Structure 1
Amino acid sequence: MEMTEEGGDGPRWIDIPSTSEGELPSPEPGQLYHDLGSIYPDAPVPRIDGELVIRRAVLHDVTGLDDIFNWAAEGEVVIV
């Protein structure tokens, strides 16, 4: 990981090898943007401050425990 600085006044960028492997897609001029609220009306994010988020999960093996612990640490309800 390297930090690059072009000029002195702008933000510093961190070059992360995993993100520089391929070219990231960029939106074309005139490209349609989607209303994610209509595509995912029940997204697992609080709609107002302090609202409870309930996550449902199926645990097939121990590799999913990290996500479950992270959700619980963030104060979300997890139903397994």
Structure 2
Amino acid sequence: MEYLPFGSGRRICAGVAMAQRMTAYSLAMLLQAFDWELPAGARLELDEKFAIVMKKATPLVAVPTPRLSKPELYYSA
């Protein structure tokens, strides 16, 4: 997931507060709904690459597995 800026000062996006809340909410839903693990044979690399913004040297790859057996339990009517 890549976070994109919304501008600043007088030209800031009017929806920035809602977008920040929705990003956090969406991430929380993904973390709650799935068990996450590395692909078979993969190692977790924590090395960073120096740039204007610090990034991981190798991107993180994770495999999601649904936590609940019935998909309809994830959605409320």
TM bin (shorter chain): under 0.3
TM-score, normalised via structure 1 length: 0.22
Structure (1 or 2) with the larger CA radius of gyration:
1
Quick one: higher RCO (CA 8 Å, sep 6+), 1 or 2? 2
Which structure shows the higher helix fraction? 2
